[in-house]
Amino acid sequence: MKFYKAFLSLTVLACLSLTSCYHFTTGSGGGGGGGGNNSNKVSFVLLADTPPANLGLISFRVNISSVTLTSTSGTQTTLTVNGGSGITVDLVRLQSDSAFLGTVSNVPTGGVSSIAISFSNPQLAFFNGTGATITNLNPQCLASTVCTAAFTAVGAPVITTSATINGNTGFGIDFNLANAFTITGTSLALDLTNTTTTKVVSAITLPRANSILATGQLDLIEDFTGVVTLSNSNVTIASDSSIRRGSITAAANSSTVLDADPSGTLCKTPTPGSVSTCVSNNQVASMDAILNSDGTFAIREIEPLLASPTVDTVEGTVYGLPGGNPSEFLIITTDIFPAASNSKIGALTLGQPLTVTISNNVATGGFEVDTKGLLVGGALGNFQGATTTSAIHQGQTVAVHITSFTAASGTTLASANTDLVTLRWSRFIATLNIANTPEFSINTLPGYFGFQPGIVLNVQTFAGTQGTDGITNLEVPNGTTASLPSGPVAIRALFLENSANTQDPPFFAAKVRQP
C-alpha cells in the first residue's frame, strides 16, 4: 500500500480579538476575573461525529490553544490551554471518546451568546475511498490508498448559543467532521469556519442527555494514557511533551476499579480503594476519569500498561499487511511512549506511517490483549499468544514495543522491529444495520478496514450496571442498543477477528455512543 504526504494551504476565520484572558494549564484549576462576585466554574471538552463519506479517517490531529466564552452582556472569558502552547487532540479518537480542554473560574451568571474555539496545525491520515485520484495533493493521492495531508489553518470558528450559566457547568464542543471536509471533483479541501448553513462545531451542555453520569458529574474522559505520578490517593497522568495531550489529576476512592495490565503481571492483587497497590510512579497507565462540575476529577478505572522504567512503545492503527510477509504490517502512529532514557524513537511523530516487523523472538514477549475487564471469551485466542500477522487485521489498534528503529528517509517509511504486540482499542463510526441487545450489527465501516462494501458485522456489548468493570458504556438513547435509531453509531471496541475472517462477533465494545 502506497503512502503519500501532502501539504495544503487553507484560509479560515482569523483569530478573535479578546478583551480579557484567563490562563489555564490542562489538568488543574485556573482562571479568574471578569465576573465580579460570580464564582461559576465552566469546563470544556471536545468530541467529534459524522465522518465524511468516502474518506476513511485514520487520524485527524489538531492543536487547541484557547476557548472563548462570550456572555450576552459582552463579557469574554478565555480558557488559554497549556499557557498558550495548546494541546493536541485526535478527532478520530473523539468519535467515541471525549478530550478534556480545561476549566475556567469566575464566569458570570447569565446568558451565553457565543463560544469560539481556536484550531491550528491540522494533520490528516486517511484512506481515499472516493474511487478517484485526489489531484490537488502533492503528490496526488491515488484511489484506495492511505495518504496524509498537512493543512495550514489558524482560526476560531464561532458557535452561536443561547445557553445560560446558573452555577458550575460544562460545555461539549462537538466537531462535525463531514462539514469540515469537502471533495469537489477530484480536490480535497478543509474549512474550519462556521457559516449560517454549515456548522463545523456546535456546543452542547454537559452532561450529555444520554450519559450514565450522576448529579454533579459532567463527562467521562476515557483511556487517558501517560506517565504516572502518585500523591497519596491522587494520580496524575501526563502525556509525553512530544504528544501534548496535557495531564489529568484525579482522586481515587472506594469505587475506583483497579485492573491488571495486559500481561497480567502488574496490579494482580490490588487493595480496593488503594490506588498505590495498582500503579506506581513512572509507569505508563490508562485512566478513565469522571469530570466533576467543579473541574476536579475522580478515577473510575485505572490500569498500568507499561512497567517502570518505560521502554519505547508505539501505538497505532493497522492500515496495511504486505502480501506474503507474515512478519510485517503497517500502522499510522496514534500514540508514543518514549523510553525513560536513551529512547530510540525521538524522530517518530504522531500521524506518521511506520513499518513494523515482528522479531523472530516474539514468542518470548508474545501477543497480548488489553481486555480492560471485558469477557471476550474464546475470541481472545484469535490474538493472544500469536507470533505472526495471521492475528493482525486492518483496522486494529495495536501497541508495539520497539526493539530497533530506523527513521524515515525520503520516500522510505520509518521502520521498527518489535517483540511484543498488544491489541488495544479501535475507534470508528459505522452505520447501524440492526439494533439489538446485547449484540447489534453494523455495516459501512471506514475503508481502511479493507472490508467489501455492504458487509454486515456484529458488535458484542456487555450488559450490567453502568460504570462497573467489564460493562459496556452506553451513551445512547434510552440506554440500550435494542432501541438505537438508524444512522451512524460510534464504537470503541476490541477487534478480535480470526485468520479466516469468520469470527462472530468480531467486535467487543467498551463504549457505544450515538446522538
pLDDT digits (tens, 9 = 90+) for 35-82: 344 789 999 999 999 999 999 999 999 999 999 999 999 999 999 987
How far is CA 72 from its chain centroid? 33
87/131 same-domain check: yes
Q: What pLDDT does residue 154 have?
A: 61
253/142 same-domain check: no
pLDDT tens digit string along 263-285? 999 999 999 989 999 999 999 99
Q: Map grid coordinates 456548522 to a residue.
A: 199
Query: Is the pLDDT score of 6 beyond 60?
Result: no
Query: Is the pLDDT score of 287 beyond 90?
Result: yes
Q: Which of 482, 462, 480 is nearest to 471 (CA)?
A: 462
Question: What's the CATH code of the domain at 233?
Answer: 2.40.50.320
pLDDT tens digit string along 412-451? 999 999 999 999 999 999 999 999 999 999 999 999 999 9
Which secondary-structure segment (H or E) carries 113? Answer: strand 110-128
Tell me how far apart the alpha carbons of residues 284 and 281 are, in angstroms, rounded to a whole number.
9
Q: What pLDDT does residue 78 have?
A: 94
Tell me how far apart the alpha carbons of residues 18 and 32 are, in angstroms, rounded to a whole number.
15
343/372 same-domain check: yes
Q: What pLDDT does residue 315 have?
A: 98
161/234 same-domain check: no
Question: Of 373, 395, 423, which residue constitutes the final position of a domain?
Answer: 423
pLDDT band at 221 (very low <50, low <70, confident <90, very high): very high
The answer to whether position 89 is within a domain reads yes
Q: What pLDDT does residue 138 have?
A: 84
Selected residue with higher pLDDT from 354 and 150: 354
Q: What pLDDT does residue 337 have?
A: 96
Q: What would the mean pLDDT of 370-394 be, rounded to a whole number?
A: 95
Domain range for 174 is: 3-205
326/354 same-domain check: yes
Q: Which of 224, 227, 226 is nearest to 94 (CA)?
A: 224
pLDDT band at 20 (very low <50, low <70, confident <90, very high): very low
The answer to whether position 210 is within a domain reads no
Q: What would the mean pLDDT of 19-37 be, rounded to a whole number?
A: 36
The answer to whether position 144 is within a domain reads yes
290/346 same-domain check: no
Q: What pLDDT does residue 23 have?
A: 32
Q: What pLDDT does residue 9 have?
A: 40
362/465 same-domain check: no
Tell me how far apart the alpha carbons of residues 226 and 248 are, in angstroms, rounded to a whole number.
9
The answer to whether position 384 is within a domain reads yes
Q: Which residues of 280-306 are buried (b: 16+ CB within 10 A; e: fewer)?
A: beebbbbbbbbbbbebbbebbbbbbbb
47/114 same-domain check: yes
The answer to whether position 437 is within a domain reads yes
115/32 same-domain check: yes
The answer to whether position 212 is within a domain reads no
Query: Is the pLDDT score of 13 beyond 70?
Result: no
408/435 same-domain check: no
The answer to whether position 252 is within a domain reads yes
Q: Please, which contacts does 436-442 make with residues 24 or more away whose CB atoms are closer than 8 Å?
A: 436/481, 436/482, 437/461, 437/463, 437/480, 437/481, 437/482, 438/462, 438/463, 438/481, 439/505, 440/481, 440/482, 440/484, 440/489, 442/489, 442/491, 442/507
Q: What is the mean pLDDT of the chain?
A: 90
185/322 same-domain check: no
The answer to whether position 440 is within a domain reads yes
147/183 same-domain check: yes
